[in-house]
Amino acid sequence: MKKDFLDITDCSRKELYLLFDYAKKCKAVRKQGIWSHELSGCHIGLLFRKPSTRTRISFELAITELGGIPLYLAGESTQMSRGESVCDTAKIFSRYFHGLVVRTFSHQEIEDFARHSVFPVVNALTDFSHPCQALTDFFTIFEKKGSLDDLVVTYIGDPNNVSYSLFMAADILGVESRLSAPAELLPSKEFLQKLENPDLFQMSDDPKAFIADSDIVYTDTWVSMGDEESAVQKEALLRPYQVNKKLFSFAKPTTLFMHCLPAHRGQEVTDEVLDSPVSIVFDQAENRLHCQKALLSMLFSAEKKVVE
């Protein structure tokens, strides 16, 4: 049976560590200029209904370096922009492709693609979750810290799809996670009920509440794609949650800063933090490529076993 990757909860703790191990190998062999052939003969569609830099580049390179052939499809260039259903589109894609990577707004849309597709479907971002980012984030933390044991990861700012996947990944991996956000934006009880280890998660409306004990401080843009109408209100609400030199002064010397990028310098984070030695954002961005190669290898090795 085919395996999709629609949410970080589609992976077990064991599978995440296997992906970390393979991503490490992918990173090492790429530096040696060695390419593999796991996707040889596979045509992978990249349906993007939202703009992208890192996600598109990393997936196109990952597919190519694994021996596959990527085909980029801007959402507005397909008949879906004129009302063709997901069901019909998925059935057509299934006649052409061997896999599909989707970056879109509605999470229901990607679930529908998976339901009607005969090949693996990968979530490259929806309004609900960003599992490829969470996979990369924890691989990067594992790489930098050497272990995920006894770590505290704190997200400061607007709770969004990135933070949701980050917290769910932490829950799976047994890592303590924290959220500092305005009271109006804190997650509902429904979110807490999804956690297998709720005792590992804490939240507060105080931006300094968890800084002193944090090993990782993470933030993201205050205004997500498609949410631009609320920009002025959001920025006013989140201004006290800016990650700046003063806020970071409460952190341990070993605390690292993360951001999935793109960053809005001077809003959620200042240059002093983003460009400082504690910032690992560009390592984080590079690791998207290695983690997505590991993910695609896992999904398509499982697919080949089914076919065989």
d(CA 301, CA 212) in angstroms, rounded, equals 43
Spatial contact of 256 and 273, defined as CB atoms under 8 Å apart: no
107 strand-pairing partners: none
When pLDDT is cut at 50, 70 and 90, the band that residue 306 belongs to is: very low
Residue 243's pLDDT is: 98
What is the model's pTM? Answer: 0.95
When pLDDT is cut at 50, 70 and 90, the band that residue 305 belongs to is: very low
d(CA 109, CA 117) in angstroms, rounded, equals 12
| Fold entry, domain 144-279 | Rossmann fold (3.40.50)
- Within this chain, domains 8-129+286-307 and 144-279 share the same CATH topology: yes
- Asked whether the predicted pLDDT for residue 307 surpasses 50, the reply is no
Cβ neighbors of 236 (< 8 A, separation 6 or more) are none
Domains in the chain: boundaries: 8-129+286-307, 144-279
Across 284-298, average pLDDT: 97
d(CA 303, CA 121) in angstroms, rounded, equals 11
pLDDT in tens, 9-34: 999 999 999 999 999 999 999 999 88
Q: Give Cα separations from 24 to 18, 126, 170 (angstroms).
A: 10, 26, 19
Starting from the edge strand earliest in sequence, which strands make up the sheet with 121-123, in order? 69-74, 43-48, 99-103, 121-123
- Asked whether the predicted pLDDT for residue 228 surpasses 70, the reply is no
Architecture of domain 8-129+286-307: 3-Layer(aba) Sandwich (3.40)
Handedness of CA 29, 30, 35, 39 (dihedral sign): positive
Tokens matching residue 77: 């260039």
Proportion of the chain above pLDDT 90, given as a percent: 89
Residue 38's pLDDT is: 92
More confident residue, 227 or 221: 221
- Asked whether the predicted pLDDT for residue 101 surpasses 60, the reply is yes
When pLDDT is cut at 50, 70 and 90, the band that residue 63 belongs to is: very high
Segment of 220-224, 241-245, 302-306 carrying the highest mean pLDDT: 241-245
Spatial contact of 30 and 65, defined as CB atoms under 8 Å apart: yes
73 strand-pairing partners: 47
Residue 21's pLDDT is: 98
Across 156-184, average pLDDT: 97
Across 272-291, average pLDDT: 98
Spatial contact of 82 and 89, defined as CB atoms under 8 Å apart: no
- Asked whether the predicted pLDDT for residue 231 surpasses 90, the reply is no
Buried b (16+ CB within 10 A) or exposed e, 159-197: bbbbbbbbbbbbbbbebbbbbbbbeebebeeebeeebee
Residue 304's pLDDT is: 52
Tokens matching residue 80: 């879906």
Share the mean pLDDT of the chain.
94
Q: Give Cα separations from 71 to 47, 101, 160 (angstroms).
A: 9, 10, 29
Across 89-108, average pLDDT: 97
